[in-house]
Structure 1
Amino acid sequence: MPRYFFDIHGLHHDRDDDGVDLADIQTAAKQAKRLIPQIAMREIPNDGERQVITVLVTDEDGHPVYSAAMTFVGLWLIR
């Protein structure tokens, strides 16, 4: 089974040094899509109104194979 690594970029940059053995690249992409909302729940900014969270999936050779991103934008509607 191939190993995939999930590096997270947002408020913090977390490199995945361990990786996960998954059946194929499609399964790795699904895993990245599941991670994004979980990370967003933890990393919504307290002091800002904009945040982009990205999960970069790389293969065993370090080649990027998939990227998923979510953008949070808060907008005050009262003055």
Structure 2
Amino acid sequence: MSRFFFDVHDGTMHLDEFGMESINLEDARSIGLRLLSELNRDDIAKGCDRYALTVLISDEDHHPVYTATLSLTGIWLLR
């Protein structure tokens, strides 16, 4: 088991200073995707129509091991 860090970029980089310990790579991936989902829900509730969220997962030596990006583009189709 290792420590993984979950940095989030939403236009600004938010560095994870503490990380999460005692998880494996597959658990780290699941946590990162769940984090994107939760942040996405918050942004949609704020009425955002265009944004991208990225999570960068790094190991305990701060080497990147996984990244995922979730993007949303909403366009009004009224004339």
User: TM-score when scaled to structure 2?
Assistant: 0.87
Q: Does 1:18 align with 2:18?
A: yes
- Identity across matched positions, percent: 35
The 1-side partners of 2:46 and 2:11 are apart by: 11
1:37 offset after TM fit, Å? 1.1
Unaligned runs of 5+ in 1: none
User: TM-score when scaled to structure 1?
Assistant: 0.87
Deviates more, 1:50-59 or 1:37-46: 37-46
The 1-side partners of 2:36 and 2:47 are apart by: 20
1:22–1:28 contact (8 Å) kept in structure 2: no
Aligned residue for 1:53, secondary structure, equals strand
Q: Does 1:56 align with 2:56?
A: yes
Question: Partner of 1:76 in structure 2?
Answer: 76
The 2-side partners of 1:20 and 1:6 are apart by: 8
Counting matched residue pairs gives 79
CA RMSD of aligned residues (A): 1.9
Structure 1 moving runs of 4+ over 6 Å: none
The 1-side partners of 2:72 and 2:45 are apart by: 9
1:46 offset after TM fit, Å? 5.6
